[in-house]
Chains A and B, each alone.
Chain A
Amino acid sequence: MDYILRRWRGRTLEDWVVDSVNMFLLLLVLIVTLYPFYYILIISFNEGTDAARGGIYFWPRKFTLDNYETFLNDHKWRIGFLVSSARTIVGTLLGVLFTSLVAYGLAYKQLIFKKVYFPIIIVAMYFSGGLIPYYVVLRELQLLNTFAVYVIPTMLNLFFLLIAVSFFNDIPDELQESAKIDGANDLTIFYKIILPVSKPLLATMSLFLGVGQWNSWMDSAYFVRNENLRTLTYRMIEIINQSTMPIDPVGSAIASSMNTTTTFSIQITAMVVAILPIICVYPFLQKHFVKGVMLGAVKG
């Protein structure tokens, strides 16, 4: 009580006004950011045909799991979900392993040609040939229209490569030397010693690469034609584009006469499904944020 009094005493009129206005505006920011997520969540749990009548703002009116059931039973959505999950798992694993392997090599003490390797990396970080020549290379490698196009070109993340190099440099040499005396070669040292002590680094990398994989859509839109390789994000683009057009043959009409869902309610359910994994890892992501954005800023 005393503490609160002390904090409130001595507040001038200006303080009061500044605090109130500030509080109000930030509350507004909070609502504007959070409400869209909340809204699609409640709509995804509401009967689609009922939601089409409008007027749902705070709570599902006719609760149902139909939307999720239809989503999972729909061939296209299910494939999309599986492809997205698979690319996230495989792509993250490959990315983390390959990036840290290369970083381990670069962090090796007395590595000769170091002065050649680092400029090669920095130049690749800042310059690119743009999308068209890149596409030609993917075509040449026969990566187009394969699952590999999702996970191979993303194997080496240069930003995390540099972070990993500095992380490995900080690992005490004694660890490696004792293993060497025991006759371990560098590959063994890498996965028996370096990787286990680098768990925080690997966790951060996995989270960021995983989120990137899960969210990406451009490769699915441009490098893939096979309908069975489309990602969840691509499916969403497809369905939203269909329904944004003013002349809309299907419109938001009932998608299936079997149950209560509509195209719109399924689309919203897909969005919830696309956001859910991110929300789940969000607390962990957050732990590593500030460092990430600072380094990202330096990198530009």
Chain B
Amino acid sequence: MKANTGAISNKNTKARMTWKQFKRQVYPQSFVLLGVLFLVIFSYVPMFGIIMAFKDYKITSGVQGIFTSDWVGLKYFSEFVNDYKFGDLVRNTLVISFLKIVFAFPIPILFAVMLNELRGMVFKRIVQTVSYLPHFISWVVVLGLAYVFFSAQDGIINTLLMTLNVIDKPLDVLTNPDKFWGLAVMSAIWKEAGWWTIIFLAAIAGINPAMYEAAQLDGAGRLKRIWHITLPGIQGAVIVVLVMSIGSLLGGGLVGSNFEQSFLLGNSVNSDTSEIVQTYAFKVGLAEGRFAYAAAIDLVQSVISVFLIFTSNYIAKKLSGQGLF
């Protein structure tokens, strides 16, 4: 009995102490709580709102409707699987993502090694400075540049090649389904490769210069030194970045931007190869107003992404003893 009341009053004093402490730091607490409120509204409500994918949800019922509308189970998921576009969408999403891992991932590594081999410091700085400029330019402008260079009517490349009589009718890059994947990979490399080079250059800078001198004394040439010192020296960074890219594979990996590209470079003519799961979700959701269906499509992609993050992290840990978490 006595011990019991003791425990209660102990609890009370603890709560009172906390309250006192809280009052003393009421300003910082209220700043933080404002931030938490912001996150609840703009992150957590949407996060829980994803349950609309399993519900008969109508947009007119607002946020509240997400939680009150009737469950329909996996109706929208089976509808998506049976959608006549399903095959194309999944193929495009996977192919574009894999092409980017295969072709866009090695470029920053190669580029970093090449920059490292440059002797002139000034030239090195110039190349590097210029190479990450496109990272800061909007994808919209990149779309504009693609149009300026490749358009069948005004494109400078077509005009030039026609004047030189290399081709006799304009190459159709922007509105040809067969060219979209190449266009996506190339434009992603153009825009982002320079930016990701920074991380590999930083890794190279961490290699002990004495190793190069020693190798040189042993008679190793330039290529041998690259192969036996530079590349093994940045192995750790490469693995970390690779794990990250596989984790964000469906978004386009390292160079990201699957969505932007499909949305901006895609059009009604090349949609057979340019439309991906995410842009389709956008279209059926916001343009056609089928919100629950769109949320279900989006959720499929998110679940695969989360699965990929954990799998790639697991594999990286197994292989190198080093993962992201």
Please provide the chain B residues from 227 to 285 with a CB less than 8 Å away from any CB of chain A in the complex: 240-241, 244, 247-248, 264, 267-269, 281-282, 285
State whether A271 touches B46 (Cβ < 8 A).
no
B62 / chain A contacts, CB cutoff of 8 Å: 136, 139-140
Given A124-B44, A131-B285, A271 contacting B144 (CB threshold 8 A): yes
Q: Which residue on chain B has the smallest CB distance to residue A286?
A: B129
Q: Which residue on chain B has the smallest CB distance to residue A153?
A: B42
B45 / chain A contacts, CB cutoff of 8 Å: 129, 133, 137
A285 / chain B contacts, CB cutoff of 8 Å: 136
> How many Å lie between the Cα of A211 and that of B139 in the bound state?
12
State whether B36 touches A120 (Cβ < 8 A).
yes
A18 / chain B contacts, CB cutoff of 8 Å: 117, 222-223
> How many Å lie between the Cα of A34 and that of B39 in the bound state?
40
> How many Å lie between the Cα of A260 and that of B204 in the bound state?
52
Please provide the chain A residues from 230 to 245 with a CB less than 8 Å away from any CB of chain B in the complex: 233, 236-237, 240-241, 243-245
Given A54-B159, A124-B43, A297-B240, A187 contacting B35 (CB threshold 8 A): no
- Size category of the binding interface on chain B: 35 or more
State whether B119 touches A19 (Cβ < 8 A).
yes
State whether B111 touches A29 (Cβ < 8 A).
yes
Distance to closest chain B CB from A34 (angstroms): 5
A residues contacting the other copy or chain, number (CB 8 A):
96
Please provide the chain A residues from 136 to 174 with a CB less than 8 Å away from any CB of chain B in the complex: 136-137, 139-141, 153, 155-156, 161
B291 / chain A contacts, CB cutoff of 8 Å: 132, 135-136
B-contact 0/1 string along A264-290, CB 8 Å cutoff: 100110110011001100100110011
**B311 within 8 Å of A (CB atoms):** no
B126 / chain A contacts, CB cutoff of 8 Å: 30
Q: Which of B32, B221, B295 contacts A102 (CB 8 A)?
A: B32
State whether B32 touches A137 (Cβ < 8 A).
no
Q: Which residue on chain B has the smallest CB distance to residue A292?
A: B198
State whether A131 touches B282 (Cβ < 8 A).
yes
A240 / chain B contacts, CB cutoff of 8 Å: 143-144, 147
Q: Which of B141, B198, B221 contacts A275 (CB 8 A)?
A: B141
**B95 within 8 Å of A (CB atoms):** no
Given A134-B42, A244-B151, A267 contacting B136 (CB threshold 8 A): no
Q: Which residue on chain A has the smallest CB distance to residue B294?
A: A132
Distance to closest chain B CB from A200 (angstroms): 19
**B80 within 8 Å of A (CB atoms):** no
State whether A124 touches B39 (Cβ < 8 A).
yes
Given A128-B43, A132-B52, A293 contacting B36 (CB threshold 8 A): no
Q: Which of A161, A246, A293 contacts B195 (CB 8 A)?
A: A293
Distance to closest chain A CB from B201 (angstroms): 9
Q: Which of B145, B160, B222, B248 contacts A15 (CB 8 A)?
A: B222
Q: Which residue on chain A has the smallest CB distance to residue B52?
A: A133
Q: Which residue on chain B has the smallest CB distance to residue A290?
A: B198
State whether B281 touches A131 (Cβ < 8 A).
yes
B268 / chain A contacts, CB cutoff of 8 Å: 245
Q: Select the stretch in A61-69, A70-78, A108-116 that faces chain B.
A: A108-116
Please provide the chain A residues from 214 to 248 with a CB less than 8 Å away from any CB of chain B in the complex: 214-217, 222, 233, 236-237, 240-241, 243-246, 248
Please provide the chain B residues from 149 to 208 with a CB less than 8 Å away from any CB of chain A in the complex: 149, 151-154, 156, 159-160, 163, 174-175, 190, 194-196, 198-199, 202
**B132 within 8 Å of A (CB atoms):** yes
**A40 within 8 Å of B (CB atoms):** yes
Given A137-B63, A215-B140, A129 contacting B21 (CB threshold 8 A): no
**A1 within 8 Å of B (CB atoms):** no
Distance to closest chain B CB from A205 (angstroms): 15
Please provide the chain B residues from 97 to 153 with a CB less than 8 Å away from any CB of chain A in the complex: 111, 114-115, 117-119, 123, 126-127, 129-134, 136-141, 143-145, 147-149, 151-153
Distance to closest chain A CB from B128 (angstroms): 10
State whether A217 touches B39 (Cβ < 8 A).
no
Q: Which of A52, A105, A127 contacts B32 (CB 8 A)?
A: A105
State whether B281 touches A132 (Cβ < 8 A).
yes
Please provide the chain B residues from 40 to 90 with a CB less than 8 Å away from any CB of chain A in the complex: 41-50, 52, 59, 62-63, 66
Which are the 7 A-B pairs with shortest beta-carbon distances?
A133-B49, A105-B31, A129-B46, A186-B27, A102-B35, A215-B138, A108-B28
Cβ contacts A to B, 12 pairs, < 8 Å: A15-B222, A23-B123, A57-B156, A102-B32, A105-B29, A110-B25, A137-B46, A156-B42, A237-B140, A245-B269, A274-B138, A289-B198
Residues of A within 8 A of B (CB): 7, 12, 14-15, 18-19, 22-23, 25-26, 29-30, 32-34, 36-37, 39-40, 43, 52, 54-55, 57, 98, 101-102, 104-106, 108, 110-113, 117, 120-121, 124, 127-137, 139-141, 153, 155-156, 161, 185-187, 211, 214-217, 222, 233, 236-237, 240-241, 243-246, 248, 251-252, 264, 267-268, 270-271, 274-275, 278-279, 282, 285-286, 289-290, 293-294, 297, 300
Q: A14-B222, A105-B35 are in contact. List 15 more A-B contacts (CB 8 A).
A: A23-B123, A40-B148, A102-B35, A124-B43, A127-B43, A130-B302, A132-B298, A137-B41, A140-B63, A214-B138, A215-B137, A244-B175, A271-B144, A289-B132, A294-B199
Residues of B within 8 A of A (CB): 18, 21-22, 25, 27-32, 34-36, 38-39, 41-50, 52, 59, 62-63, 66, 111, 114-115, 117-119, 123, 126-127, 129-134, 136-141, 143-145, 147-149, 151-154, 156, 159-160, 163, 174-175, 190, 194-196, 198-199, 202, 221-223, 240-241, 244, 247-248, 264, 267-269, 281-282, 285-286, 291, 294-295, 298-299, 302, 324
